Amino acid sequence: MVPQFQDVGPYARPFLMVVMDPRAAGPHTLVALRALHRLLERNSLQAMGGSLTPRPGFGVAIEPLTKGVLNCKFEQTDAGADEAVEMAIADLLALMVSIDRRSIQTDTLMDAFNTVFVTRNTFVHSPALCYHFEDVLTTVVRTVFEDLDSLTDPAGRLILEFLVNQLLHTPLVGGDDDASREAQIAHDATRVLCLRLTRWALRCGFQDVDNQTLMAAAAASSPDDERGLLQIIQDDLCLSLLLNGQAIWAYQDNTSVVPGFISMEVLSEICTTLSTLWTSYNLRKHLVPQFEAIFTGFYQRALVLLRKRMNPTDSASFHANFVFDAGIEIILESLVDIMGLHDHRQTVAQGNGGCLESLFATYDCNIRHSDVAVGLMVELCRCTGSHVNEDGDVIDASLHGVGLHPLRAAAKEESATPAGSMGTPTNSSVSDTTSQIASRRKHSPLQKWQQRQTCTAKFRLTEGTVCSNYYWKHEMLIPR
């Protein structure tokens, strides 16, 4: 509990009075703000921390000083001077949070964060000032999440919940008029900023968190209690990433030139955030159903739409394909990052293995989940020109349940062969046999792949429980 100081201190009080005086002009307020910033930065004013009584000397109480800066009022003069005052307010708030954020109450800290965030998105600023506000918000997020007490830290929980809610509740605007385009640009800027700050929170807050801490946080969660950071990521963040990512195909129609609900920049930030979640190994163990929905509903769906894309017939369809190809390229680059960013020296049983190996062990070898790895691999193969259905036949059809029917086909072929016969062709069918051998040689990689899938299907049908328990013992599957 942070104590409520009645006075900011004798040395900071004169400057704070100027900051809070509405009769002061912008340049005067700017001088007072910069003076406080310089005194705190050079340790001329020492933060009192959580002591109940002010210490003698050049001390300052951070909590009332933060509230006073948030209540800054000044007489507006010109746009340049007003922007300088806003920048000084943001810099001073970030400095006080970085000096001693535990001396600031959680509500006051959120007011400071929300003030800078709203100022960044509400008022019209120069690009340099917008980038500066983003740096201030990044400083606040890094300071809070690098110093978390637990995964239920109030400040971290409120900041992450605020950022994720901006992604969930930001309206998806459609339309081709000027007002709709301006609103779309503003909403996209909000999404980009929230996604970047969310990635900083994930990197700083979950980089060194061990699996035992995450398991304790998952076990302690309950609908009646306040949600922790892990529950916010599981319930809200992953859902917002999936919904906003799928919005790129909202207007996937060759007859329309209207793009999706989000821009390419937002899509790139979404894919980067997904890559950050996947590379967080301990956190990834607690996002098993979430990543199942992401891989099947986002990446695999992108591959299906790419395979079914029609060739352009006019300028409108050409533009629609151009926009669609730009989004698919970003998604495929993200998939390459996910597939490549891992330690090749380890296996799934040893720890953090390869991406495709981890997907196969987590989902395909568990009868409670869908075939994520096989479905993803097959769609990748089909996008490169292969046409295989669920029976292993070379036709253009949907692909699910690979490898079961080739067993029956092989048994049928074996039963049709006479006993003791080696299948030697007659003279009348030498040319047909030669073409069949050439066909086998041509498609031997595909046949080998089908044989492996056949063995996998047999193993899952007969020993699926053993496989699931084996990987659960090696901490690759979360206990059900």
Cα–Cα distance list, 239 to 151, 222, 361, 380 (Å): 20, 19, 24, 25
Report pLDDT for 438. Answer: 41
**Dist CA 204 CA 415 (whole Å):** 63
d(CA 192, CA 185): 10
For position 78, what pLDDT does the model report? 79
Q: Which residues contact 27 (CB under 8 A, 6 or more apart)?
A: 77, 81
350 Cα distance to chain centroid: 26
Structure-block tokens of residue 155: 């400040």
Q: Please provide the DSSP assignment of 348-388 as one string.
A: TTTSS--HHHHHIIIIIT-TTS--HHHHHHHHHHHHTT---
Closest to 72 in 3D by CA, of 119, 134, 123, 104? 119
The H or E element that residue 465 is part of is: helix 444-473
Token digits for 324? 């669609």
* pLDDT number for residue 425: 42
Reading the chain (480 residues) residue by residue, the pLDDT tens digits are 344 445 787 888 899 999 998 888 888 999 999 999 999 999 888 887 655 455 545 788 899 999 999 998 887 777 778 888 899 999 999 999 999 888 899 999 999 999 999 988 876 678 888 889 999 999 999 999 998 988 888 999 999 999 999 988 766 555 566 777 777 788 888 899 999 999 999 999 888 888 788 888 888 766 656 788 999 999 999 999 999 888 877 655 444 444 456 789 999 999 999 999 998 888 988 999 999 999 999 999 999 888 888 888 888 888 888 888 889 999 999 999 888 866 556 666 666 667 888 888 889 888 898 889 888 888 888 888 777 655 556 654 443 344 334 433 444 344 444 444 444 444 444 344 334 434 443 444 444 445 445 444 433 433 333 333 333 333 333 333
| Residue 409, both tokens | 């086909």
Return the pLDDT at 227: 82
Q: Alpha carbon 278 to chain centroid distance?
A: 9
Give the integer Cα–Cα distance in Å for 460 and 373.
Answer: 14
**CB atoms near residue 453 (< 10 Å):** 21
pLDDT at residue 202 in the model = 94
208 Cβ contact partners less than 8 Å away, ≥ 6 residues apart? none
What's the pTM? 0.76
Q: Helix, strand or coil for residue 75?
A: strand
Residue 159's nearest CA partner among 181, 172, 148, 144 is: 144
Q: Considering only CA atoms, which of 78, 87, 9, 89 is closest in space to residue 45?
A: 9
Fill in the amino acid letter for 317. S
Residue whose C-alpha is closest to residue 335's, from 369, 389, 379, 367: 379
**What distance in Å separates the CA atoms of residue 407 and residue 450, rounded to the nearest whole number?**
10
Give the SS3 label for residue 183.
helix
Q: How far apart are the first and last CA of the chain?
A: 39
User: What is the model's pLDDT at position 350?
Assistant: 62
- Report helix, strand and coil shares of the chain as percent, to nearest 5: 65, 0, 35
